Amino acid sequence: MDAQLTALIVHDLKNALGVLEGDLSFLKEEPDQPRADRAHAQCVHLREKLVGFLTLYKASEQGLEARIEAISPDDFLRGLLADRFTDRPEITLTIDDSSAMPAVAFFDEHLIGLALDAALQNATRFAKTGIVIACHTEDNSLVFTIHDDGPGLHTQETLPSTGLGMALCNVIARSHHNADRQGEVSLTNHVDGGALFTMKLP
Amino acid sequence: MATILNSRLARLRAIVIDDMRSMRENIRGQLGQLGIDQVDQAATPDDALKLILAKRYDVIVCDYNLNKKTNGQQLLEYLRSQGILPPTAMFFMVTAESSYGSVASAAEFQPDAYLVKPLTGGRIADRIERLLDKQQALSPITERLLKKDKIGAVGECDAVQKAHPKWIVDILRLKSSTLLELGQTEEARAVYEQTLAMRGDLIWAQLGLARCDQLAGKAAAASASVTQILEKSPQFIAAYDLLAQLTEADGKDQATLDALKKSYDVIPSARRSRLVGDAAYRTGDLLQARAAFSQAISHTQGSLTAQASDALSLAQIHVDLNEAEQALEVLNTAQTAHQNEPHFAAGHAAIAAQAFARLNDMRSAQAAFESAKALSGELRADQHALTLAKAAFCAGQNEEGIRIMSKAIKADHENVRLVAFARQVLTDTGNTALIQSVVDDAISEGALIVDQATQLMRDGQFDASLAKLEEAMDATPENTGILLAAAQLHLLWMSQKGLDRSYVTRVNGYLAKLDTLMPNSERVAKMYRFLRETLVKVTREA
């Protein structure tokens, strides 16, 4: 695993832990519901980051093997969003449940859940008002997309990023094989504005 | 976390199995937030087993790491292999992030879902909801299967698939395996191919194609497919089992043993040890068999999952290896744990008789044999009957040995394993000379009944033919050769004389019995096929 990335991530985790510690010490003195909610959300993100980091580590040490199951993408996405914690509740999250979504698809639900959580976390940082998550098939592949209405790529980030999320999405996509095809991810500007995350699984 | 209340969930009864109290309390709290208030807890596999045997749970949340002896997977294996879990129970295996892949890829018995720590109420609720949806969607098929109405179950599949396309893969899996059980190998093949067209790397469907070949009598093609599957997916346990069946049918006992040993390397469980032990015993590899059953015992020692048959097998192997004292020691140790189990006392006495004889204590040997005989009840075509015969020969009671063995063989004279074991018993006890007069004659007697019935049928005497077979079925109700002949008789008669509903019911009865007596049998599959073809023919002609 890339040493520079590791250092960046650990540094980031330490900072997040610091913020949580600050919130908790404040809460010890004076109970405050909004702050408690924020601390809880912070804790969940910290845990997600740690799981992401460990998954990346596992991928670099022993490789990741996707456990392919037949899953309804609609059920999967609904479950993913229902269980999602956000520190920006003002951002609306919508599933585009147009007819393009297949009834059943084949992927590792746990791993793809980790990847999409990370991608949603990124999108949440930049979105202005909303994020749309969708799933369709294209050229015999299953495609998940996450479209935010933020400023798009190549803009000056006001919040620093470690690149953990995209690195995680990459290894998880690549752990999905079918015959001689492999999964892939991309992050581009959407024609209608905002960033478009795409994960294509064979 | 917002409280999710759902009336469907509130009715469920759950048990949480985890050795850490804090984890149990945590999960119990999460379930409580979902409205599931009836939550029991167990800290050990044995406590869990006691509760599961006593009550009926809808949801079982079990941690993979339980204690040094038994993990969650082994508990699940025991529950499923002993048929303890009702079909609607949902078993969730909780694993750590780091071990999820390795736990899930090498599991013989799959839980309904794996949940990766940390658990959240939302995720548990999502999984339960989805499983309940699936149960409900598939119920037209599964309810028919519960009633053993396989043809009806297959008939429901298309409608259910149309109404619930998201469960297509589960439906195709049920449909294909039921078609296989019905001997409709070509129809099953089409369903497996349909599945593989959706996703080519579904190993269960690839293995299904190999099963179609096996049941269609194309053993070489089946073997080639299985070998190919194992090259790519050496973790897929069911493939080793099919390979073991194929090699055993081909008389290649060593290859059977090798296949099962490899499966043990993938999943070193008590159940796998037992399979290796049995196969090793059949090939005469007593040292391997001794090691395997010792392993099975040490895997389950002190646990409710311990099985009396393991101790009996090990004791028998010690006797055969001329380790009579060890045999008696194993029997003594097992006595405390298994004395209340049915059949244990009879098996115990039959093996003790042999051990005493090895120690030249003929008085004790005879006493033990008499007690084994008294405890054995009605003799069936099984290993115990032959063990009892062996005890008789060892105790110097050859007449009794011959009587018991002959009865056991006549009870199922076409049972290849049984007959091979009978020959082995006679060889082991120095009675090779008796093989012709005891084993071969008993087989001929059974075969003669079938021949006579067939001849009567050819002469157009259906009633006389049936009477002949029914008499044999009364005397030996589990004789697979007779049951197959009876099914064939009715089908041949109908194909000449036309449909008779009561005959169809009878044939279905014979086949249901044969399903239990000889699972995965090519001969039974053929008879199912014959039934279907006959029904098509007579309906068309009517």
Q: Considering chain B, what is the average pLDDT of its residues?
A: 91
What distances in angstroms separate CA A69 from CA A111, B88, B125, B199, one per listed residue? Answer: 12, 20, 19, 10
For residue A83, what pLDDT is reported?
77
B102, closest residue in chain A (CA to CA): A65
| A122 CB burial (10 A radius; 0-12, 13-18, 19+) | buried
Q: Which helix (H) or strand (E) holds B75?
A: helix B72-81
* Residue contact A70–B169, C-beta within 8 A: yes
Q: Which of A28, A46, A62 is the last residue of a domain?
A: A62
- Is B86 touching A (CB cutoff 8 A)? no
- Tell me, yes or no, whether A156 and A81 share the same domain: yes
Q: Answer yes or no: is pLDDT of B383 > 80.
A: yes
- Is A175 touching B (CB cutoff 8 A)? no
* Residue contact A178–B201, C-beta within 8 A: yes
In this complex, which of A47, A58, A79 lies closest to B98 when CB atoms are compared?
Answer: A58
- Tell me, yes or no, whether A118 and A145 share the same domain: yes
Q: What is the mean pLDDT of residues B140-157?
A: 92
Distance CA B252, CA B535 (A): 37
- Tell me, yes or no, whether A73 and A58 share the same domain: no
B172, closest residue in chain A (CA to CA): A70
Predicted confidence band of residue B1 (pLDDT cuts 50, 70, 90): very low
* Under 8 Å between Cβ of B362 and B396: yes
- Tell me, yes or no, whether A100 and A177 share the same domain: yes
- Tell me, yes or no, whether B228 and B183 share the same domain: yes
Residue B284 lies in a domain: no
Min distance B268 CA to chain A CA atoms (Å)? 21
Min distance B182 CA to chain A CA atoms (Å)? 26
Q: What is the mean pLDDT of residues A93-115?
A: 91
- Tell me, yes or no, whether B504 and B467 share the same domain: yes
* Residue contact A54–B101, C-beta within 8 A: no
- Is B359 touching A (CB cutoff 8 A)? no
What residues of B are in contact with residue A75 (Cβ under 8 Å)?
Answer: 126, 130, 166
- Is A51 touching B (CB cutoff 8 A)? yes
Residue numbers of the domain that contains A162 = 69-201
Q: Answer yes or no: is pLDDT of A104 > 90.
A: yes
- Is B522 touching A (CB cutoff 8 A)? no
Q: What is the mean pLDDT of residues B117-133?
A: 87
Predicted confidence band of residue A98 (pLDDT cuts 50, 70, 90): confident
- Is A106 touching B (CB cutoff 8 A)? yes
For residue B149, what pLDDT is reported?
87
What residues of A are in contact with residue B120 (Cβ under 8 Å)?
Answer: 83
B118, closest residue in chain A (CA to CA): A47
Assign B263 to helix, strand or coil.
helix
- Tell me, yes or no, whether A112 and A148 share the same domain: yes
Least confident stretch, A159-168, B319-328, B356-365, B477-486: A159-168
For residue A120, what pLDDT is reported?
93
Q: Answer yes or no: is pLDDT of B100 > 80.
A: no
A 10 A CB-CB count for B461 gives 14
For residue B192, what pLDDT is reported?
98
What residues of B are in contact with residue A103 (Cβ under 8 Å)?
Answer: 165-166, 168
- Tell me, yes or no, whether B6 and B117 share the same domain: yes
Predicted confidence band of residue A155 (pLDDT cuts 50, 70, 90): low
Q: Answer yes or no: is pLDDT of B367 > 60.
A: yes
Min distance A69 CA to chain B CA atoms (Å)? 9
Q: What is the mean pLDDT of residues A7-19?
A: 86
Distance CA A63, CA A27 (A): 41
Residue B504 lies in a domain: yes
- Is A182 touching B (CB cutoff 8 A)? no
In this complex, which of B123, B165, B170 lies closest to A83 when CB atoms are compared?
Answer: B123
- Tell me, yes or no, whether B131 and B152 share the same domain: no
Q: What ipTM was reported for this prediction? A: 0.88
Min distance B127 CA to chain A CA atoms (Å)? 8
Residue numbers of the domain that contains B113 = 1-146
For residue B337, what pLDDT is reported?
86
- Tell me, yes or no, whether B124 and B197 share the same domain: no
Higher pLDDT, A12 or B361: B361
- Tell me, yes or no, whether A104 and A177 share the same domain: yes
* Residue contact B97–A54, C-beta within 8 A: yes
Q: Answer yes or no: is pLDDT of B5 > 70.
A: no
- Amino acid (1-letter code) at residue B334: A
Pairing assessment for the beta strands A92-96 and A177-178 based on DSSP bridges: unpaired
For residue B3, what pLDDT is reported?
43
> pLDDT digit string (tens) for B255-276?
999 999 999 999 888 999 999 9
Predicted confidence band of residue B2 (pLDDT cuts 50, 70, 90): very low
A75, closest residue in chain B (CA to CA): B130
* Residue contact B97–A51, C-beta within 8 A: yes
- Tell me, yes or no, whether B6 and B115 share the same domain: yes
Residue B414 lies in a domain: yes
What residues of A are in contact with residue B115 (Cβ under 8 Å)?
Answer: none
A 10 A CB-CB count for B363 gives 9
Interface of B with A in 190-219 (CB under 8 A): 198-202
Predicted confidence band of residue B81 (pLDDT cuts 50, 70, 90): confident
Q: Which two tokens stand for residue B71?
A: 């993990």
Q: What is the mean pLDDT of residues B132-146?
A: 94
- Is B120 touching A (CB cutoff 8 A)? yes
- Tell me, yes or no, whether B113 and B29 share the same domain: yes
- Tell me, yes or no, whether B160 and B96 share the same domain: no
Phi, psi of B164 (to 5 degrees): -135, 70
Q: Considering chain A, what is the average pLDDT of its residues?
A: 88
B201, closest residue in chain A (CA to CA): A178
> pLDDT digit string (tens) for B388-440?
999 999 999 999 999 999 999 999 999 999 999 999 999 999 999 999 999 99
Q: What is the mean pLDDT of residues A8-19?
A: 86
Distance CA B308, CA B342 (A): 9
- Tell me, yes or no, whether B26 and B74 share the same domain: yes
Q: Which of A30, A62, A94 is the last residue of a domain?
A: A62
- Is A178 touching B (CB cutoff 8 A)? yes
Higher pLDDT, B1 or B472: B472
Length of chain B: 542
Q: Which helix (H) or strand (E) holds B515?
A: helix B501-517
- Tell me, yes or no, whether A22 and A84 share the same domain: no
B165, closest residue in chain A (CA to CA): A103
Q: Which two tokens stand for residue B375?
A: 């405890």
Distance CA B155, CA B166 (A): 19
What residues of B are in contact with residue A68 (Cβ under 8 Å)?
Answer: 199, 201-202
In chain A, the number of structural domains is: 2
Interface of B with A in 143-182 (CB under 8 A): 165-170
- Is A64 touching B (CB cutoff 8 A)? yes
- Tell me, yes or no, whether B394 and B532 share the same domain: no
Phi, psi of B95 (to 5 degrees): -125, 160
- Is A16 touching B (CB cutoff 8 A)? no
* Residue contact A110–B100, C-beta within 8 A: yes
- Tell me, yes or no, whether B133 and B153 share the same domain: no
Residue B412 lies in a domain: yes
B/e letters for B10-43, b = 16+ CB within 10 Å, e = fewer, are eebbbbbbbeeeebbeebbebbebbbbebbbbbb
Q: Which of B124, B146, B168 is the last residue of a domain?
A: B146
> CA neighbours within 13 Å on the CB side: how many for B249?
19
In chain B, the number of structural domains is: 4
- Tell me, yes or no, whether A22 and A87 share the same domain: no
Phi, psi of B59 (to 5 degrees): -130, 125
Can you give the pTM of this predicted structure?
Answer: 0.87
Q: What is the mean pLDDT of residues A68-83?
A: 92
Q: Which of B207, B233, B259 is the last residue of a domain?
A: B233
For residue A174, what pLDDT is reported?
95
Residue B440 lies in a domain: no
For residue A2, what pLDDT is reported?
77
In this complex, which of B105, B118, B199 lies closest to A106 when CB atoms are compared?
Answer: B199
For position A190, which CATH number holds? Answer: 3.30.565.10
Q: Which of B430, B459, B494 is the last residue of a domain?
A: B430
For position B318, which CATH number holds? Answer: 1.25.40.10
- Tell me, yes or no, whether B117 and B136 share the same domain: yes
* Residue contact A104–B168, C-beta within 8 A: yes
B95, closest residue in chain A (CA to CA): A110
Q: Answer yes or no: is pLDDT of B7 > 90.
A: no
Q: What is the mean pLDDT of residues B118-129?
A: 86
- Is A97 touching B (CB cutoff 8 A)? no
Min distance A155 CA to chain B CA atoms (Å)? 35
> pLDDT digit string (tens) for B201-213?
999 999 999 999 9
Higher pLDDT, B524 or A158: B524
